[in-house]
Structure 1
Amino acid sequence: ARYVETDSLEDAYGFINSLEIPIVVKADGLCGGKGVIIAQSHDEAKRAAGEMLSGNSFGDAGTKIVIEEFLDGCELSVFAVCDGHDYVVLPAAQDHKRLLDNDEGPNTGGMGAYAPTTLVNDTIYRKLEERVIEPTLKGMKEEGMPFTGVLFIGVMVVGGEPIILEYNVRFGDPECEVLMPLLKSPASELFYKAATGDLSSAQIAFYDKHAVGVVMASKEYPYKSSEPAEIIIDDIVHNDIASNAHISFAGVGRGEEDKLFATGGRVLVCVGIGDTIKEAHDKAYMLCGQVHFIGKQCRTDIAYQALGLET
């Protein structure tokens, strides 16, 4: 994709004028996953660029920006656990960045995810290994800095070809919450073998299952902080939900009488596990129905792209 990285508003405006809409405007720094604007007009792109460069949107994180040509395809998250020379690729996941159903509203840190996604096949996995993971590990090793850890690759698949949107060196959230339940081998073995440069001897296996995670966010997310709200979780009486769904807590705290409170941002993730994406999806949303706090918000269409292919 065509792009420019700049701290000049004049250069930003000039490049924006050269692009077709929609246009991607990104803050160059860390913004908690919210520093990307998909502008639907040239004027919106210019406003976003101006707000970022002035520091009004993201402070110092936006004083340099990246403007990109928009790519139309399916976006995936692929993670490789690396020990400096060998690696283990985890099942590809798909995040849902927009706040609202139908991928509308502002970008967030992620409103839900599922794995493995049916939108990637063995050919795409192999292309990512040959074009991205292996050259990255080779190059880091040649520079005397072998990479050990989690390589997070943000991928857009366009016409069957994987195009790299971003690198990171951590697990993604909420992707991690749906990947860990699929790991049949002990996570400690995977991470220890990576840390000690011994992944080649690891016997890493995954369950033949699917996992869907639905984020429940606070009332004002992602615009501003929210007032603390008590969380009430109903007793789980459905055995299948008790056995195949769980909650991963995030923006929570304890109050008087040890009560649980939503303290802002993304509060928790309801994760369902099943033999199909539909089963996992239904369990996750059944668990969501058991969780209550004032102002709670969540998307109702997590995994919609995969569900459309499955039905």
Structure 2
Amino acid sequence: MKVLVIGQGGREHALVWKLTQSDSVSQVFCAPGNAGTQSEATNVAIRVSDIPKMVAFAKEESIRLAVIGPEVPLVAGMADAMREAGIAVFGPSKAAAELEGSKSFAKQMMWKANVPTAKSETFSNFEAAEAYLEEREEQPLVIKADGLAAGKGVLICDTKQEALDGIKSLMKIKEFGDAGKTVIIEEKLIGQEVSILAIVSGSTIIPLETSQDHKAAYDGDKGPNTGGMGAYSPAPLVTDALMDEIIEKILVPMVNVMKIEDRPFNGVLYAGLMITNQGPKVLEFNVRFGDPEAQPVLMRLKTDLAQLLLAAAEERLDEMESLEWDERPAVCVVMASEGYPGDYEKGRVIRGLGEAAELADTKVFHAGTTSKDGEVVTDGGRVLGVTAIGDSISDAKLKAYQAVKCIRWDGAWCRKDISDKAR
């Protein structure tokens, strides 16, 4: 069958790489793709925002399965358009994707489902938000832009002044545009974060192996939030008993409440959790594979991904047998452009990719790259997801950073402590 992967980041390269390994897949297209997907699939120059053109291409090429990677086209309704055109698509409807498109909507659904999450208030008026903060006693808070902000619209505020500055940057200065028209002010949860991704179709929920993202820009979880500076899988913090609790108290209630609300979920339900002293609490829901979590998780997956996603798309996920996994852990280190998560330059030539590709148990997934004059150049803030699998977390980390050392471009940088929390 022919498969179309929609998107151009590291997650999409990982999906392309895994899908091409399926015996049932004859050809993989990636729209628009990047320099990495270009070497493993056929890139198609269609913007992820161009839904009519994407659907027309899928029909012309007789695509059997469309896999939508990023959140933006999902929130815009691309999955609905594909389904209306008779194309099997892996990804939630526009109505279900609002779980990620609006953090205030997600909070409403969590309250209805009695899912544990941080106490919060929602504001669409700056003066009202300001007055609320002024009246509160000094305590750490988290300010979130309600809409999509590429994973960066979350501000951790340890003081009242930081919180006041935060709502000003989101609602007045509009640092993230319309995403910050409405803000959520919530208590800061203390603990360790984990990412729980599950394939969902109808009432069937198949959790994937656990992972842990590193959102802060710098070592020791310092600096501003990013789209993710690295991840590892599995997360030892999540025991079998804890996973059972997460499924029972979080995943099942959310899938049920979405069905009750006439927004049935089909795709990846991603729960970003904080493991607190009171148990797991939801920080956010996403409606697609995480990036960079997808890279180490998919590296460990042995089950045929194409058949798994097709079964979900065709609402026969309950027919799937248990997933098979490589027991070895995997670590992904994101290499970023100088200036990220702020402003950065594009077009810098990347060297050493061939040298890194020769290393065993290692895969360099491209995120913000493109080809120019026969060379691979930077084309984004997060440029590469250097991923390795090893006999232990420390072994996988060592292999990943050995590959990182092979690769260079002007202004390249990365965190040095990815996966250290697992020890």
TM-score bracket, shorter-length normalisation:
over 0.9
**1:133 equivalent in structure 2:** 251
**1:147 equivalent in structure 2:** 265
**Contact 2:195 2:211 (8 Å CA) reproduced:** yes
Alpha-carbon distance change, 234 to 249 in structure 1, aligned in 2, over 3 angstroms: closer
**2:66 equivalent in structure 1:** none
1:160 Cα offset (Å): 5.6
> What amino acid maps onto 2:182 in structure 1?
K
The Cα offsets for residues 181-223 of structure 1, whole Å up to 9 and x where unpaired, read as 1111111121111112222221221111101000000112111
The Cα offsets for residues 206-255 of structure 1, whole Å up to 9 and x where unpaired, read as 111101000000112111131421000165389xx723011000111111
1:221 is aligned to 2:340: yes
Alpha-carbon distance change, 169 to 227 in structure 1, aligned in 2, over 3 angstroms: closer
Alpha-carbon separation, structure 2, partners of 1:304 and 1:39: 24
1:71 Cα offset (Å): 0.6
> What amino acid maps onto 2:386 in structure 1?
C
Superposed structure 1 runs of 4+ greater than 4 Å apart: none
**2:411 equivalent in structure 1:** 295
> What amino acid maps onto 1:15 in structure 2?
Y
Deviates further, 242-251 or 132-141: 132-141
Number of paired residues? 304
Output aligned runs, 1:257-276, within 5 Å.
Answer: 258-276=374-392
Q: 1:92 aligns with which of 194, 210, 217?
A: 210
**1:208 equivalent in structure 2:** 327
**2:309 equivalent in structure 1:** 191
**Contact 1:124 1:160 (8 Å CA) reproduced:** no
1:67 is aligned to 2:185: yes
Q: 1:16 aligns with which of 133, 146, 162?
A: 133
1:9 Cα offset (Å): 2.3
1:72 Cα offset (Å): 0.5
Alpha-carbon separation, structure 2, partners of 1:235 and 1:35: 35
Alpha-carbon distance change, 31 to 116 in structure 1, aligned in 2, over 3 angstroms: same
Identity of aligned residues (%): 37
* TM-score of the aligned structures, taking structure 2 as reference length: 0.69
Alpha-carbon separation, structure 2, partners of 1:234 and 1:192: 32
Q: 2:364 aligns with which of 247, 251, 255?
A: 247
* TM-score of the aligned structures, taking structure 1 as reference length: 0.93
- 3-state SS in 1 of match to 2:343: coil
**Contact 1:95 1:114 (8 Å CA) reproduced:** yes
1:141 Cα offset (Å): 3.2
**Contact 2:356 2:364 (8 Å CA) reproduced:** no
**1:283 equivalent in structure 2:** 399
**2:275 equivalent in structure 1:** 157
The Cα offsets for residues 142-190 of structure 1, whole Å up to 9 and x where unpaired, read as 4444321110111111016110111121111000111101111111121
Alpha-carbon distance change, 200 to 11 in structure 1, aligned in 2, over 3 angstroms: same
Alpha-carbon separation, structure 2, partners of 1:56 and 1:139: 33
> What amino acid maps onto 1:11 in structure 2?
A
The Cα offsets for residues 39-82 of structure 1, whole Å up to 9 and x where unpaired, read as 12211110110111114311111111111111110111101101
Alpha-carbon separation, structure 2, partners of 1:234 and 1:168: 31
**Contact 2:356 2:403 (8 Å CA) reproduced:** no
Alpha-carbon separation, structure 1, partners of 2:417 and 2:250: 31
1:136 Cα offset (Å): 2.3
Alpha-carbon separation, structure 2, partners of 1:210 and 1:10: 48
1:132 Cα offset (Å): 1.8
Alpha-carbon separation, structure 2, partners of 1:143 and 1:71: 28
- 3-state SS in 2 of match to 1:289: helix
**2:288 equivalent in structure 1:** 170
Q: What is the CA RMSD across the aligned residues, in angstroms?
A: 1.7
**Contact 1:55 1:63 (8 Å CA) reproduced:** no
Alpha-carbon separation, structure 2, partners of 1:33 and 1:290: 28
Deviates further, 221-230 or 178-187: 221-230
> What amino acid maps onto 1:123 in structure 2?
A
**Contact 2:329 2:390 (8 Å CA) reproduced:** yes
**Contact 1:4 1:66 (8 Å CA) reproduced:** yes
**Contact 1:228 1:264 (8 Å CA) reproduced:** no
Alpha-carbon distance change, 43 to 141 in structure 1, aligned in 2, over 3 angstroms: closer
> What amino acid maps onto 2:383 in structure 1?
V
Alpha-carbon separation, structure 2, partners of 1:90 and 1:109: 21
Alpha-carbon distance change, 9 to 236 in structure 1, aligned in 2, over 3 angstroms: same
**Contact 1:80 1:150 (8 Å CA) reproduced:** yes
> What amino acid maps onto 2:152 in structure 1?
K
- 3-state SS in 1 of match to 2:359: helix
- 3-state SS in 2 of match to 1:282: helix
**1:4 equivalent in structure 2:** 121
Alpha-carbon separation, structure 1, partners of 2:391 and 2:153: 35
**2:147 equivalent in structure 1:** 29
